[in-house]
Structures are given as structure tokens and as C-alpha cells.
Amino acid sequence: MLKQNIKTLNQFLPNLKSNGIQNLINGNSIDAISGEKFDNTSPVDGSFIGKVSEGDSADINNAANAAMDAFDAWKKIPHQERKKIMYAIADKIEEHADEIAVLESYDTGQAIRFMKKAAIPVSYTHLTLPTNREV
């Protein structure tokens, strides 16, 4: 299992190290307005994961405004169609749960077992709880 987890990490770490992580606002990955970034290191072994855009209140305002604008279009989508979209997102989380668990464990220091059995299923549930699967 350790070898598989290391293999999974090695699929993603080169991209994270070279490109870092930006803010996701209005469907776009963008740097913080300030241009500030911080080094993200793994609590597992202290190694460098990548640079992360350091958002501040201006970035939060942009994200909140983009979300409010998006909601105007979202609320016009029929309920059954919104439900399909939410389940499609949840299904992708479930499909990639092992990869997400390994990456989140490396990033946060949480046990992979916790990520697989608690954190990721909670994400799935938050996306699907308000509805039932009959789509």
C-alpha cells in the first residue's frame, strides 16, 4: 500500500511543485490580487509541495461576488438538472477518493484512513444530502 501511495503522490507532486495552487474564482485559477504566495510543505516529512496563492479580503470579495453572480444563473436551472450536476460532482469525488485521500493526507498530515472513511464521504454527503439519487 505504501508503494501505491507514493506512486499516487508522484503523479501529482511534480505539477504542484512547478505550478503551485492558485485561487479558484469564477471557474478560473488565478493568482491572488496581491501576488503574494506562501510555501506549502508537508507535515508528513517537511518536503516542499508547492507555492500557494495567498488570498486576502480582496480575493474573498471577488470570490463572493462571482458566487452571487453565478447563483443568478444557477437558480434558473430546473431542480432536476441541478440535482444531476451535484451528483456528477459527487461521483467524481467518489471516483477519485483514493487519490484525494493520499494527497490530502500528505498536505494535512491526517491519516489516509480518516480521509477515506470520514472527510471524503462527508464531501459527497454535503453535495447529495438535500436530494435523493433518483434522477
The total number of residues written for the chain in this structure: 135
Per-residue pLDDT at 135 exceeds 60:
no
Residue 87, amino acid: Y
C-alpha cell at 50: 508547492
Q: 127 near 87, Cβ under 8 Å?
A: yes
- Provide the pLDDT for residue 131: 66
Residue range 28-51, pLDDT digits in tens = 999 999 999 999 999 999 999 999
Binned at pLDDT 50, 70 and 90, residue 66 comes out as: very high
CA 21 to chain centroid, in Å, comes to: 10
- Provide the pLDDT for residue 134: 59
Binned at pLDDT 50, 70 and 90, residue 128 comes out as: confident
DSSP alpha helices (H): ranges in 20-135? 57-74, 79-95, 97-108, 112-114, 120-128
Q: What is the pTM of this model?
A: 0.82
Give me the mean pLDDT over the 87-107 stretch. 95
d(CA 126, CA 110): 20
- Provide the pLDDT for residue 8: 93
CA-based nearest residue to 91, from 120, 56, 49: 120
The domain segmentation of the chain, as residue ranges, is: 7-76, 77-135
